[in-house]
Amino acid sequence: MTDPTSNTPEDGVDGGDGVDAPALPATERGAGVPNDTTIRASAHEAESSGHPDTPHSPPISRDQYLKVGPDGEPIGLSAETFEGRQELTRRSTTDPGELRREVGAVLRLPEGVVIDPANIDVEQSDDNTMIINMGPQHPSTHGVLRLMFELDGETVLRTKPVIGYLHTGMEKTAEELTYVQGSTNVTRMDYLSPLHNELVLSLAVEALLGIELPARADWIRMLMTELNRVSSHLMWMATNGMDLGSTSMMIYGFREREMVLAFFEKTTGLRMNHNFIRPGGTAADLPDGWEDDVTIICDTVLPRTDEYDELLTGQPLFRQRTESIGRLSAEEALALSLTGPILRSTGVPWDLRRSMPYLHYDQVDFDVIVGTYGDNFDRYSVRLNEIRESIRIIRQIVEKMPAGDYRVQDKKVTPPPRARIDESMEALIHHFKVFTEGFKVPEGEVYVAIESPRGELGCYLVSDGSSKPYRMHIRGPSFVNLQALPVMMRGGLLADAVSVCSSVDPVMGEVDR
């Protein structure tokens, strides 16, 4: 267990050389993205510059540097040096672009490099840092993610996520499959929220087709994706608990997720990779008695979230391992294009379901959960409370579910009902055509985005008028969110790396596609 007092991100960075390291970004401060932090920091700076400075002020001690103002914000220091006036600011005021350039870039050892031990001169080496590798087969990397750390003692300086181990060329495969087959392909990307993948592809295809779905189809899609959000967040609770050593949480999370998966199996026939949401509607109607099943899930999971609360939220060990670990500011999150719970944990109330509603999310009542500090604990609380909000949405869906058809009755898109095939030759041909040739989609291109459990899941679809996508690009939220690891881990302890990685909730199937 790590010492909680030394866990603030700034601590480790400046620990080694209190003066040199923070002086670096000072020249860049204020350039680039203007943000609140910068403004506040410069206000402090104006105050401090009012103080008389001795011409040769002594080196600034670490304690001085770590001083914070009455509002908890760091005070930037300025001092006279032989080179003139030098301004020191806190790491947190660094322009995100500059920080990214510093921490994200060039730490890399190519795959094939074999270092000849004879070439390493141990005696002469004045390099205090160490490069250590984690993964790609590490159990805590949530799949085949490889992380390379540059360490100074136990402090992480730079991190390089190395991905691609699960790359199977699904975007290329999509160009070879018809639109009907497409959802079978995309459902395998983010295997913890497969229904969201199917939904975003279906919405994109429908946008190009220009068809409008019956209301029930939309509401079924909402029900299924919200249940999927619950199961995905439960899975995250479980694995996050496991990463932090809480085996009970792992068992509980999987236990509750199992209920949702059982309902999925009943509805779609499969526990994952459902291929249930398809262009033109869904594959089937909800099973008889679905209201009872869903209500039981809601009634069970909701009180269980209170149990998790009791188990984790107040627990000192859990809080010490999550609070102020992996902090991100809102400016950094925006600059790094982060979305989903990570962005919301920094206090930005951005949820596509609320801000740019799709399906019928404008007709349900729910809250967008935001955090304050953007640390691991906030990301945990956002996800825990999103389970509750999703259950709130699901209850409303159960009430509001309209009657009607579960797919559009457009002969070009929808295969005939099974019963018609037995009695009509035309229906048989039609069925055959839809599933072998597929349907043609008008020429054009469209970008559609939905809120998946991990953030904005986008689909950029280009059609050349044939029955196969000309180009299908999936904007995977995990792929983008994972790139924030270097910024989040910088200055933290190696022991917290697993915790930070877990709080990103990466699904490697979607990262690598």
Partner 1 sequence: MTGAAEATSVDPATSVDPVIPVIPVIPVTPVTPVAPVEGPAGTAGLSDSGGGSSRFPGRPVQEIVFPTREQYLSVVQGYRDDGFEMCIDLCGVDYLTHFNRHLPDGVPPERFEVVVNLLSLSTARRVRLRVQLPESHLEVASIFDVYPGVEAMEREAFDMFGIIFAGHPDLTRILMPEDWEGHPLRKDYGVGRVPVQFKGAPGPR
The least CB distance from residue 71 to partner 1, in Å, is: 24
Q: How far apart are CA 31 and CA 298, in angstroms?
A: 49
- The whole-angstrom distance between residue 181's C-alpha and the CA centroid of its chain comes to 27
The least CB distance from residue 358 to partner 1, in Å, is: 4
The least CB distance from residue 210 to partner 1, in Å, is: 8
Q: How far apart are CA 67 and CA 267, in angstroms?
A: 58
Closer residue to partner 1 (CB): 62 or 172: 172
Query: Quick check: bond before 136 cis, omega within 30?
Result: yes
Closer residue to partner 1 (CB): 177 or 249: 177
The least CB distance from residue 175 to partner 1, in Å, is: 8
The least CB distance from residue 442 to partner 1, in Å, is: 5
Q: What is the residue type of 4?
A: P
Closer residue to partner 1 (CB): 207 or 302: 207
* Strands ordered across the beta sheet of 469-475: 444-452, 455-463, 469-475
Spell out the residues 6+ positions from residue 304 whose beta carbon is closer than 8 angstroms to its own: 252, 256
DSSP-derived letter for residue 286 is P
Closer residue to partner 1 (CB): 32 or 69: 32
Residue from 445, 441, 442, 439 nearest 473 by CA: 445
The least CB distance from residue 17 to partner 1, in Å, is: 24
DSSP-derived letter for residue 159 is E
Burial annotation 155-167 (CB, 10 A radius, 16+ → b, else e): bbbbbbbbbebbe
The least CB distance from residue 90 to partner 1, in Å, is: 19
Closer residue to partner 1 (CB): 290 or 460: 460
Residues linked to residue 474 through DSSP beta bridges, in sequence order: 459
Q: How far apart are CA 344 and CA 336, in angstroms?
A: 14
* Percent helix, strand and coil across the chain, each to the nearest 5: 50, 10, 40
The position carrying tokens 């866990």 is 7
Q: Six-digit token pair at 250?
A: 């792992």
Other beta carbons less than 10 A from residue 292's beta carbon: 10
Helix axes 179-186, 194-209, angle to 10 degrees: 160
The least CB distance from residue 35 to partner 1, in Å, is: 10
Q: How far apart are CA 297 and CA 263, in angstroms?
A: 9
Closer residue to partner 1 (CB): 235 or 369: 369
> How far are the Cα atoms of 51, 396, 455 from residue 37, in angstroms, in the given order?
22, 40, 25
DSSP-derived letter for residue 404 is S
Residues 123, 489 contacting (CB under 8 angstroms): no
Closer residue to partner 1 (CB): 203 or 238: 203
Closer residue to partner 1 (CB): 199 or 261: 199
The least CB distance from residue 203 to partner 1, in Å, is: 3
The least CB distance from residue 471 to partner 1, in Å, is: 5
Q: How far apart are the first and last CA of the chain?
A: 35
The least CB distance from residue 113 to partner 1, in Å, is: 6
Closer residue to partner 1 (CB): 336 or 393: 336
The least CB distance from residue 13 to partner 1, in Å, is: 19
Alpha helices in 346-490 (DSSP H): 352-355, 376-400, 418-423, 425-436, 477-482, 485-489
Dump the DSSP string for 222-266: HHHHHHHHHHHHHHHHHHHHHHTT-HHHHHHHHHHHHHHHHHHHH
Q: How far apart are CA 172 and CA 183, in angstroms?
A: 14
The least CB distance from residue 344 to partner 1, in Å, is: 12
Closer residue to partner 1 (CB): 17 or 445: 445
Closer residue to partner 1 (CB): 276 or 350: 350
